[in-house]
């Protein structure tokens, strides 16, 4: 049995702005993503990390992360 682990710096503690770079790589506008789409979910009551991680899965897809 093989085990593979994938680590991504979603909170940008290791590299500056890695999440926005991931968005750009997939053709998404980081400013719109953070300022409008994530904010709309947070305004609905989502916890901020859950809001943007949910949107990443919706927009980029689970297989791409």
Q: How many helices (H) and strands (E) does the chain have?
A: 4, 0
Comparing CA positions, the residue from 18, 40, 41 lying closest to residue 30 is 18
In a domain, residue 49? The reply is yes
pTM, two decimal places: 0.69
Q: Provide the pLDDT for residue 22.
A: 85
In a domain, residue 2? The reply is no
Q: What's the whole-number mean pLDDT along residues 39-59?
A: 92
Does residue 54 or residue 7 have the better pLDDT?
54
Q: Is 26 a residue whose pLDDT tops 70? A: yes
Residue 52 sits in which domain range? 20-64
Q: Is 11 a residue whose pLDDT tops 90? A: no
Q: How many domains does the chain have?
A: 1
């Amino acid at each position: 049995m093989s085990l593979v682990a994938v680590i991504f710096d979603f909170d940008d503690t290791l590299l500056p702005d890695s999440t926005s770079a991931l968005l750009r790589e997939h053709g998404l506008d980081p400013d719109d993503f953070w300022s409008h789409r994530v904010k709309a979910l947070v305004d609905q009551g989502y916890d901020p990390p859950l809001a943007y991680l949910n949107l990443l899965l919706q927009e980029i897809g689970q297989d791409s992360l």
